[in-house]
């Protein structure tokens, strides 16, 4: 009789936190902002915009992210062509927008964001959507090259995917005035 190995409570959350911490600050900020927009967690414009240009970008993202609910409903349960197209086409378009913002600069960062926006059932489809969006001509050739080189062979050829839901959803953190916090 073999003993079932159970994950240590919190170990996966800690691993997710470490992965998030490995991303650059602009990527972390964009992921948190995108989760606020995509999961309707807060007023993203109020929380994240530092100027009118950024506010306009968040408004554009909000309009595009309205498609997330429909995309979630269309996640294919098999590889039948008729179920792939209605899901992949809007997912690639949305992915192209996010990659075009210049803050998601690797497959791990993209996967981290989209696992949270769409849920674990989308995992098998993320490498294909990422590669398709990263190949589009709206991105500079050097950007396309960097993005496509960021996907590991293991991620691109995975024989299976976890169905475990993500547990760490990073959020806005208020800045602390250290001069006042020390007293």
Q: Across the 183 residues of the chain, what is the mean pLDDT of every consecutive 10-residue run?
A: 58 89 94 94 86 91 96 90 90 97 96 97 96 97 97 87 85 65 56
Q: Domain boundaries in the chain? A: 11-174
How many other CB atoms are found less than 10 A from the CB of residue 71? 22
How many other CB atoms are found less than 10 A from the CB of residue 39?
14
Q: Could you give the CA distance from residue 134 to residue 132 in angstroms, rounded to a whole number?
A: 6
* Distance set, CA 102 to CA 22, 72, 82, 119, 143 (Å): 17, 24, 32, 23, 8
What CA–CA distance (Å, rounded) separates 61 from 69? Answer: 14
Helix (H, G, I), strand (E, B) or coil at 122: helix
Tell me, rounded to whole angstroms, the distance of Cα 45 from its chain centroid. Answer: 19
* The pLDDT of residue 5: 54
Number of neighbours of residue 140 by Cβ within 10 angstroms: 10
Predicted TM-score (pTM) of the model is 0.86
* Predicted pLDDT at 79: 80
Query: Which pLDDT belongs to residue 60?
Result: 94
The per-residue pLDDT for 44 is 87
Cα–Cα distance, 149 to 143 (Å, whole number): 10
| CA nearest neighbour of 44 among 28, 32, 52 | 32
């Amino acid at each position: 009789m073999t003993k079932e190995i159970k994950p240590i409570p919190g170990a996966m959350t800690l691993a997710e936190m470490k992965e998030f911490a490995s991303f650059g600050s602009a990527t972390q900020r964009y992921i948190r902002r995108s989760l606020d927009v995509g999961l309707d967690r807060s007023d993203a414009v109020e929380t994240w915009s530092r100027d009118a240009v950024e506010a306009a970008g968040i408004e554009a993202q909000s309009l595009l992210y309205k498609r997330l609910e429909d995309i979630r409903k269309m996640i294919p349960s098999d590889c039948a062509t008729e179920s792939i197209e209605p899901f992949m086409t809007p997912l690639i378009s949305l992915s192209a927008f996010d990659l075009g913002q210049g803050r998601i600069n690797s497959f791990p960062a993209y996967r981290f964001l989209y696992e949270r926006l769409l849920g674990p059932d989308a995992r098998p489809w993320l490498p294909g959507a990422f590669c398709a969006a990263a190949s589009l001509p709206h991105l500079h050739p050097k950007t396309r090259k960097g993005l496509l080189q960021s996907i590991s062979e293991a991620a691109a050829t995975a024989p299976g995917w976890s169905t475990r839901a993500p547990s760490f959803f990073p959020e806005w953190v208020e800045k602390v005035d250290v001069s006042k916090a020390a007293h």
